[in-house]
Structure 1
């Protein structure tokens, strides 16, 4: 579009009605200093008056008082006519004059805090009362008429409005108004998405006819998975502890892959309750290359690192407890991209400060692995939506299917391995011994190949550590899905596994169970699968 002076729109009158009053006083004072008449409603009007500003109430403009507990105040022709009228249309101008409608050149609105109300766990009626009606209606009207009206929905744009006015003699340029209009429609779209998704959950509709997701830009990324792909990071307003809510203390900006891997690492380590002991997960390319528990965080990190030292180089480290100095010192012995933990003490932060390229992220707690939520993935022409995989098992859920039941030590390791397998790309095989992974096979088309790869990694690591035999000897093994044939299970037994945890449910379960018995293995079925693609 070409632009000229005729497309500049003067701002003589502004309607301000906001829930979030961040930065409002300075902005309103700036408008008043530039000769802009201020219209306002309710609490916003009172706040501006208390600051000494001259304000007209919208009720005085419309001739109607606010009513129905504030539900009806701006839904009036004198408001919407002032926003929607085309200033260069003679018919519109005549209608304004006939009905006493004054033009509104700037709309400043942010909406009732619906998302925050839901996040606080408010009851149904309270959430409904926090659904804004007049705000979105005005925003959409002003945004549609952006040829003549500027609309602001985010406090971070207040200064930009004043700057644009100063640059154009009290007017706004069309390019800026179009940008504001886009942001306005994106806000109402996100708001409606939040309301509709909340309501679908409230009425128990797992597959509503229409589904929308929205986010707020958190970071423009240098590139995506690869340098030729552009990318950005958006947050959804969730308060779930993790990469989107973490505080970054040092290091350069997180990349697309950093964010993806850090999320995978923290969600995995959260499977291990901090109250039950320290745990560490090391992730590379969204797959764990080492996971362990320990008496201390340092022990947990060392055990996780010793699963696959080669892959751990340049990886992501996630901890389920506050990072301490001893663990920080050990992590610094190799190149690590990101460390995320629910806090870090001063000594640890001082140690990391010497590693300028290492990013340290801290959160308020760890995410609840059992909490409900939605996950979605784009496919050509649409997207798939499912519940977050918050499945878990306890000893009572397990069915012993072999002649030999697992020992107490084997059972503890089986449950550990099962938690890790949930976070490994399918087909997933995880060997565990003494609360630490010994070998991980991920993302193979054949479960037998995953079993062999995990055992081979164990053998390579044993050689590097100077051990006499592979670390999987005497371990247990988890499979994220059933063994369709005995071959994968027998491969694990040949590697040295003594017990197996798997979902069960294969047509050949009897053959697999018989093979386990013949090999002297203990095996339990979970009745639950953990595919991860």
Structure 2
């Protein structure tokens, strides 16, 4: 909530006058409060409630009132409580100031913050409370203006500014700092926990709970401020702000991280991008750390394919695509993608760019699959997947925009690296033919397809493709020639698995995520049977590589863009 109080001399004088009017009642309340509180337990006699999200509010406030807790509230919260028949004092009774300036000025006032920040065992603090008629506040219940939601729905600049809470974070931080005496609640999910604690402890909270609530409170204000500062940076085109904060809300507690000895959780950020964070999980076991990482990789890759133009399927294993294809239907695309590497696809993640249909569902459940992620699914498809109780089905409600803005974050010792999302799309690139032979239309279509996939393969990345499907992928090798050889070997293995004598790489095109530093990688691709190449270009040996392509009869195009993905 925005609770700024005026900072004028006249305002200060009014506070003093108001304080003396409440001196007698304050003395009695403070004394009784001290007698009731002892040790780590602190009795709750008075609660301040000021919430934007009113879910569960009336039930919680009613339960507090039934336990003899005096309720103080602000603005819309006060109205909601009174409309529900609850006795609640308006905060203006404490401050002797009306709510003003469209709600911006409500609670930043000594009568409020003094009651929250006063250390009950400190004689000087007690004396100040008595002198100025400040009553102790033992429970602060605040959640913040919906800034993140306003940004997510595309609110105007002014609308977003108005939804930056000021007084709310101030009260939360004050209560959290003084957790030795005050409990702070920032999440409706904690209402039941607080009530249970009051019941067990005769109307008191324990220090253990207050510390946990304080930690959560500071985490909430940190995430809120991070969302505001990052939005401001984006609005002002500040790409590398002096201070960068990253915040999120825990969405899932995970059993462990990449390995069983590592703890892990999934946090959703203010960047509302269709994917795992927006998905409904219809069935299956809880997602693991690796599931989430791989599923995100698969869904970002499949989003490169416009569902209005083609059906597309991406199969991912260990964060790398092991099969990608497009087709007239999802079932056709899945079969083509599976053919690229049926061994690696076992236990993989399948991402679709269109709603999962019955035919595709039947094909996908034919082998062990960990996760299916799609924008939506038909009832028939859902029923088919339900036959595999451990298979997770995630429906996201949409596809992420491959051209959309965003940040990529990676931790390093002593800090973290932040970069903009790799949002360059091959369809927007000006491809430059650099060889004597230009690619045919069919080759050009496959070159675009292959480079689209290479963007999502770990570097060094080599992708062989033919007829709108990958036929061999080499990923994550220390040398590009090794990636090229592995991809060629994968194409031979895939052909053998399909009962085809000739490698699938014969007649294919090849994409490299970065330039060929030497001609050897390109020569290996030619030896495997590739007829055309797409790569960024930019090596000091480009001329050597172009000559090698000409000598092998290859067509080659430069994109001018690199897609390193480490």
Q: Contact 2:506 / 2:529 at 8 angstroms: preserved in 1?
A: yes
2:482 to 449, 453, 462: 449
1:259 and 1:49 map into 2 onto residues whose CA distance is 45
Question: What is the DSSP-based 3-state SS (H/G/I as helix, E as strand, rest coil) of the residue aligned with 1:102?
Answer: coil
1:332 and 1:27 map into 2 onto residues whose CA distance is 46
Partner of 1:91: 124
In the TM superposition, residue 298 of structure 1 has moved relative to its aligned partner by: 0.4
Question: What is the DSSP-based 3-state SS (H/G/I as helix, E as strand, rest coil) of the residue aligned with 2:332?
Answer: helix
1:512 to 545, 552, 556: 545
TM-score (norm 1): 0.98
Question: What is the DSSP-based 3-state SS (H/G/I as helix, E as strand, rest coil) of the residue aligned with 1:391?
Answer: coil
Q: Which 4+ residue blocks in structure 1 deviate beyond 6 angstroms? A: none
Question: What is the DSSP-based 3-state SS (H/G/I as helix, E as strand, rest coil) of the residue aligned with 2:265?
Answer: strand
Partner of 2:12: none
When residues 396 and 18 of structure 1 are mapped into structure 2, their CA distance, relative to the original with a 3 A threshold, is closer
Partner of 1:211: 244
Partner of 2:181: 148
1:265 to 287, 298, 302: 298
In the TM superposition, residue 5 of structure 1 has moved relative to its aligned partner by: 5.4
Cα-to-partner distance string for 1:381-400 (whole Å, 9 max, x where unaligned): 11000001111123761001
Q: What runs of 5+ residues in structure 2 fail to find an aligned partner?
A: 1-36
**More displaced, 392-401 or 119-128?**
392-401
1:16 to 49, 66, 89: 49
When residues 396 and 28 of structure 1 are mapped into structure 2, their CA distance, relative to the original with a 3 A threshold, is closer
1:70 and 1:521 map into 2 onto residues whose CA distance is 69
Partner of 1:428: 461
Given the alignment of the two structures, is residue 437 of structure 1 paired with residue 467 of structure 2, yes or no? no
2:328 and 2:385 map into 1 onto residues whose CA distance is 23
Q: What runs of 5+ residues in structure 1 fail to find an aligned partner?
A: none
1:184 and 1:365 map into 2 onto residues whose CA distance is 32
Cα-to-partner distance string for 1:198-247 (whole Å, 9 max, x where unaligned): 11112221111111101111111111111111111111133211011111
2:565 and 2:198 map into 1 onto residues whose CA distance is 52
Given the alignment of the two structures, is residue 476 of structure 1 paired with residue 492 of structure 2, yes or no? no
Given the alignment of the two structures, is residue 227 of structure 1 paired with residue 269 of structure 2, yes or no? no
Partner of 2:222: 189
Cα-to-partner distance string for 1:336-370 (whole Å, 9 max, x where unaligned): 11111111111111111111111111110111111
Pairs aligned (count): 530
Cα-to-partner distance string for 1:450-504 (whole Å, 9 max, x where unaligned): 0000000111111111112000100000000001111111110110100000000
- 1:92-491 mapped onto 2 (5 Å cutoff): 92-394=125-427, 397-491=430-524
When residues 395 and 270 of structure 1 are mapped into structure 2, their CA distance, relative to the original with a 3 A threshold, is closer
Q: Contact 2:116 / 2:137 at 8 angstroms: preserved in 1?
A: yes
Q: Contact 2:466 / 2:507 at 8 angstroms: preserved in 1?
A: yes
1:125 and 1:357 map into 2 onto residues whose CA distance is 47
Partner of 2:15: none
CA RMSD in angstroms comes to 1.1
Cα-to-partner distance string for 1:156-185 (whole Å, 9 max, x where unaligned): 011111111001001111101111111111
1:102 and 1:427 map into 2 onto residues whose CA distance is 66
Q: Contact 2:141 / 2:184 at 8 angstroms: preserved in 1?
A: yes
1:398 and 1:75 map into 2 onto residues whose CA distance is 59
Question: What is the DSSP-based 3-state SS (H/G/I as helix, E as strand, rest coil) of the residue aligned with 1:112?
Answer: coil
1:174 and 1:495 map into 2 onto residues whose CA distance is 69
2:100 to 67, 74, 78: 67
